[in-house]
Structure 1
Amino acid sequence: MLVETGALDFINIIKGHIDTEEGESLVLPSMGIPAAPYLEFAGAIKREFELPVFHAARINEVATARHALRENLLDMVG
């Protein structure tokens, strides 16, 4: 796997697909989508790999960002 080669420095989590308009709207969640919809998914990825995990989808409040870092779900929010 690519992670094992040492070629990666971090993983940036983006969830969704762009083959349909509906799927694309989930990659770039709008204001109608709840805050931090993929935070738990990003945390699950972090638990599986020994690489820093970055994520930003609708983490638009400092309190949510602090929670993500404090609970070790992410290494960087942005």
Structure 2
Amino acid sequence: MQAQIDIGFEESVKLVKALPSNQLQKLRSEIDRKTNTVKSEGLELLLLKGPVATKKQLETIESNRQRINRWRHYRQV
């Protein structure tokens, strides 16, 4: 059997303030765990939807790295 109660924000705050310290700590850790899960999911989605380099762009980057490394080598000599 389930019962559903509609509680406003102010009433929720009063209930939380009335909790014993051990239950308050459990509630805090549960909220933190939920918040961290949402943040990590958001970061994962951001990275998955981000731009992706094409093969040609990667080749250009590698070529530029090689040229810079050669330039550094000649400058040191």
Instruction: Please give the TM-score of this superposition, normalised by the length of structure 2.
Output: 0.26
Q: What TM-score do you get using the length of structure 1 for normalisation?
A: 0.26
Comparing both chains, which one has the higher relative contact order based on Cα–Cα distances under 8 Å and sequence gaps of 6 or more? 1
Larger radius of gyration: 2
Larger strand proportion, structure 1 or 2?
A: 1
The structure with more helix, counted as a fraction of residues = 2
